[in-house]
Amino acid sequence: MIAMAFACSVTGFSQNLKAANVPPAVKEGLKKTHPNVSVSWEMEESNYEANFKQNGKQLSCILDSHGQILETETIISLSELPEKARKYLDQHYKGKKWNEIAKIEKAGGETNYEVVMAGKEVLFDGSGNFKEEEKEEKEKD
């Protein structure tokens, strides 16, 4: 169920893609940092999304057409969320259930956290400071 929620939340406007339709450069780009993983591919706008499990964690990488990883999203537990973010959630969303929590690492080194709740995504910076609340995007297939 968590994997399904993860796939729905990270895909946004995406569509399934057969591995045969993924350019070799994209596959090689993923293989450099995540070798020997079994991947399901999707298109996300003009980029490629690789969904896979590694070391017991569910991950998603967004790659450009040249195989450069633009961001990596890892599903994490509440205890892995920075303390500041946990306190913020407890204070502003007390009693609300979250569907998933993800750590988002961008290519430039920026880290953010995302907490997905019914109809919304709450975003935090790498230190756990609140950034914004967004309405959750519905997947279009």
pLDDT of residue 124: 98
Please count the other Cβ atoms lying within 10 Å of the Cβ belonging to residue 64: 15
Local confidence band at 11 (pLDDT 50, 70, 90 cut-offs): very low
pLDDT at residue 27, rounded to an integer = 97
40 has pLDDT over 50: yes
3-state helix, strand, coil in the chain (%, to 5): 25, 45, 30
* Other beta carbons within 10 Å of 111: 13
Does the pLDDT value for residue 139 go beyond 60?
no
- Residue range(s) defining the domain that contains residue 88: 2-135
Indicate the average pLDDT of the chain: 89
C-beta separation of 127 from 84 below 8 A: yes
Residue (of 91, 98, 131) closest to 9 by Cα position: 98
pLDDT confidence bin for 15, thresholds 50/70/90 = confident
Asked whether residue 69 is assigned to any structural domain, the reply reads yes
Q: Is residue 140 part of a domain?
A: no
Contact assessment for residue 84 and residue 91, using Cβ atoms and an 8 Å cutoff: no
Residue 18 lies in a domain: yes
Q: Which of residues 56 and 141 earns the better pLDDT score? A: 56
Q: How many domains does the chain have?
A: 1
pTM of the model: 0.83
The enclosing domain of 23 has a CATH number of: 3.10.450.360
> 46-103, pLDDT tens digit by residue?
999 999 999 999 999 999 999 999 999 999 999 999 999 999 999 999 989 999 999 9
